[in-house]
A and B are shown apart, each in its own frame.
Chain A
Amino acid sequence: MKHSVNRPTTPDEDVADAYEKDELTLRESINTKMVESGEKENLMELVRDRLVECGWKDEMRIACREHVKKKGRKDVTVDELIRVITPKGRASVPDSVKEELLNRIQNFIVSAAP
C-alpha cells in the first residue's frame, strides 16, 4: 500500500467534475452503496477522529484564528474562511490518515462487490 502515499493529492472538486462520464457514475454508485450501508458515516467519523488525534484540527483552528485576527473580527465571513483555509487543510492532512482511509474504502469496495 506504500505507493498510495505518492499519489497526487485528492483532486479538487472542479477537477473531479471534468472526469469522464462513466467514471462519475462509478463514483456515484460507490457513494450510494456507502451511504446505504452506513459505511460513509463510519468513515467520516474515523477521519474526524484521526484529524483531531493528529492535531490537524488544532492546526486549522489556529490558522482560522490568525486569519480572523488579521482581517478583523467584523469583516470575516465563513465562506471566506473556507476559501482561505481549504487549500492549507487539504495539503496538510497526514499521509497516514489518507492511507488508512484508502485502505478502508478499498476493503469496502472489495466486500461490497457482487
Chain B
Amino acid sequence: MSARISFLKNPDPCNHLSDYKLRYGTDGYKSFQKLFRCFNDGRTKIKPQEIEIPRCSYCSVYHRRLYICLICRSISCSSHILSHTQSNKGHDIAIDVERSELYCCSCIDQVYDPEFDEVVVSKQLIGLCMSVKSGADVVAVRSNKKRRLDSQLIIGSKFLVSSRDRREKWSFPLGLRGLNNLGSTCFMNAVLQALVHAPPLRNFWLSGQHNRDLCPRRSMGLLCLPCDLDLIFSAMFSGDRTPYSPAHLLYSWWKHSTNLATYEQQDSHEFFISLLDCIHENEGKSKCLYKDHEECQCITHRAFSGLLRSDVTCSTCGSTSTTYDPFIDISLTLDSAKGLSPADCRKNRNSGEPSVNAPMPTLSGCLDFFTRPEKLGPDQKLNCQSCGEKRESSKQMSIRRLPLLLCLHVKRFEHSLTRKTSRKIDSYLQYPFRLNMSPYLSSSIIGKRFGNRIFAFDGEGEYDGSSSSSSSAEFEIFAVVTHSGMMASGHYVTYLRLKGLWYRCDDAWINEVEEEVVRGCECYMLFYAQERVIQKAHKELSYQVISMADAFPFADC
C-alpha cells in the first residue's frame, strides 16, 4: 500500500519546468485551454485553430508523435523537437498534441505538473457539463466500461479547488467517509453508512428536503433527528475524507430513546428500527396529514415501508381470513435444520457443491421458510369466524407490496425465554447480489396454494397491473451490515456497493474489497433496493465522473 502511494505522488518537476513556471506562471497553460478538445472517454487532444491536421513545422510529417511548444506554439515531431529547443533558447517545455501531456525537450522525458492537469481537467468538466444533456448516455456507457479505472480516479469538483489530499482516498466515490467510534458505537456507524448510501435517503437529504436551517423544530430549540441526519449527509458528501464523529446524532438518539442511552454495545437492528421510528415521528408530524387509509408519506415509510399479507385458514372448515400489515423490514430465521426446504437441498446437490453433507443455508431458503404455511399449535387456537369457535388453524405470510428499499434482518441472536439464555448463531448464510422477490409476492404464494384460480386473487390482480410486478420485484444489494464475534462483544462492519465496487466501512477505516470478501462475510442485515433505484443512482453518480484513464496511464500499476 505504501509503495503504491509513493508511486502516485507527483514527481518533482525538472529544472526546465521550474524555470518556465517561475517566468510565466500558469498563464501559459491557461492560454492553451481554448485548444483542448476533449473526448467522451476522457482523452484530451490539442487542436490548433485553423489547422485540420497538425504537422511538424520542420518536415511536415503528421503521423508521428507531435509536440506543440508552450512558448511559440510551433509544432515539431519527435525527431525535430530537439533541434527546435536547441535553436530557440528557453523553449524547453512542450505539450504532446495527442495526449495533452507535458514534455520536456531538454530532459527528453514526460514531465508532470498538477497545475497543468487542473487546466485540462477543468476544460473536461466544462465539456462534460455542456454534453450532459445530449451525450449523457454516451458518458454513462463509457464510464461503465471503464468504471474500475474511473472509480480509482474519480475527481469531484474538489479537484479544482485544491489538490491537497489527492493521495489520500482520492480515488473513492464522493460520500465515502469513515465514522469515528465514539465508544462501542460501531452498531450505529454500521447502520448510518448503509442509510447514507441508500439512494432515496441520499436524494432526500442532499436535495435539501429537510434543511436543518429551515427546520421549525430546531428553531424552537427542540432536538430533531432528521436535522442531525442532514448534518451527517452534508459532512459525508463534503469531500472531506477525514473520519467524522456523529456525536450530535448519538446525543439526539439517546434523548429520544432514553432506555438505550448507555455506553454499551447495542444491537444494530434495534438501532435501525429505533432511528427510523424517530425520523418518522419528527418528519411525519410536520409533513404528513393522515387520512383514513392513506399511508404515511414520511421519508422512512416512502423508502422502507411494504405491506405483508397474512392468511389464516381454519383447519376445520377451510375458511380464510386475511389481514394486511405494514412492515419496515423482514426478520428471517436462520436455522439450518428448518430453514432449508428440500428444493434447496436438491439445488445444492445439482450444482455439484462440495459441501453436500451440510447444506448451506441460503437467503432463498430463509424466504421460503418465512412464506411457508405454518401450522399454529393447539395453544394458539384462533376464533374462526365461520365456525364461530376456536379452532386449530394454519397461517401463511406473503408480501402484498414490496418497498423501495428492502431490509432483510437475519436473526442471529436467539433468546430463549424458557432457558433464559441467549446465543448467537454464527453459521454462514449464502445470499445473492441480485434478488428476485416475485416468488414471495402474495400473487405467487396464493397462486401456488390454490392453483391458478381466479377467486384466490381477491385484490391481488389489480396490484400486479398497477406496478408492472415482475420488473419491480428485481432487487439489487447495496449494503450489508455484518456482525463478527460473540453475543456480547462483537463488532459491526458495513460493506457498501457503489458503482459495482465494494467498500468495507469499519468505523473510521474505509477500503475497497473484492466481491469474495463480501460473499464470505457473516451477514446480519441485508439492504436491497429495487433495481431501477440502483440504476438511476448509478447514472447520477456517473455524471460526476471524469475518466482520467489516459491522462494518467500508469496510475493503476
Contacts and interface: CB of A to CB of B under 8 A. Distances in A.
Given A45-B41, A77-B110, A31 B62 contact: yes
B109 A77 contact: yes
Interface of B: 7, 39, 41, 52-53, 61-65, 78, 107-110, 554, 557
Contacts of A16: 63
A65 B108 CA distance: 20
Given A32-B52, A45-B41, A65-B557, A17 B108 contact: no
Contacts of B109: 77-79
B64 A78 contact: no
B63 A31 contact: yes
Given A78-B109, A78-B110, A79-B109, A32 B61 contact: no
B108 A32 contact: no
19 contacts: A13-B63, A13-B64, A28-B62, A31-B53, A32-B53, A35-B52, A35-B53, A36-B52, A45-B41, A61-B557, A77-B107, A77-B108, A77-B109, A77-B110, A78-B109, A79-B78, A79-B108, A79-B109, A82-B65
A100 B176 CA distance: 43
Contacts of B65: 82
Nearest to B108: A79
A64 B39 CA distance: 26
Contacts of A13: 61, 63-64
A13 B554 CA distance: 26
A45 B78 CA distance: 23
B302 to A, nearest CB: 42
A13 B109 CA distance: 21
Contacts of A64: 554
B37 to A, nearest CB: 10
Nearest to B65: A82
Nearest to B111: A78
A19 to B, nearest CB: 12
Nearest to B550: A48
Interface in A55-100: 61, 64-65, 73, 77-79, 82
Contacts of A82: 65
A32 B63 CA distance: 11
Given A41-B39, A45-B41, A78-B110, 18 more contacts: A13-B61, A13-B63, A28-B62, A31-B62, A31-B63, A32-B52, A35-B52, A35-B53, A36-B52, A65-B557, A73-B7, A77-B108, A77-B109, A77-B110, A79-B78, A79-B109, A79-B110, A82-B65
Nearest to B45: A41
Nearest to B98: A44
Closest 7 CB pairs of A and B: A77-B109, A78-B110, A79-B108, A35-B53, A78-B109, A65-B557, A77-B108
Nearest to A34: B53
Contacts of B61: 13, 17
A107 to B, nearest CB: 21
A17 B63 CA distance: 11
Nearest to A76: B109
A26 to B, nearest CB: 14
A11 B502 CA distance: 46
A8 B554 CA distance: 32
Nearest to A82: B65
A31 B61 CA distance: 12
Contacts of B108: 77, 79
B44 to A, nearest CB: 13
A41 B39 CA distance: 10
Contacts of B64: 13
Contacts of A77: 107-110
A32 B53 CA distance: 7
A61 B556 CA distance: 10
A65 B553 CA distance: 12
Contacts of B554: 64
A79 B39 CA distance: 25
With most chain B CB atoms within 10 A of its CB, the pick from A35, A36, A78, A79 is: A78
B292 to A, nearest CB: 59
A82 B554 CA distance: 14
A75 to B, nearest CB: 11
Contacts of B53: 31-32, 35
Contacts of A78: 109-110
A63 to B, nearest CB: 12
Contacts of B7: 73
A28 B55 CA distance: 11
Contacts of B107: 77
A25 to B, nearest CB: 12
A79 B557 CA distance: 18
A22 to B, nearest CB: 16
Contacts of B41: 45
B443 to A, nearest CB: 43
A79 to B, nearest CB: 5
Nearest to B107: A77
A82 B557 CA distance: 17
B169 to A, nearest CB: 24
A16 B61 CA distance: 11
A35 B110 CA distance: 27
Contacts of A31: 53, 62-63
Interface in A23-45: 28, 31-32, 35-36, 41, 45
Nearest to B40: A45
Contacts of A61: 557
A64 B557 CA distance: 10
B444 to A, nearest CB: 41
A21 B409 CA distance: 76
A17 B7 CA distance: 39
With most chain B CB atoms within 10 A of its CB, the pick from A16, A61, A73, A79 is: A79
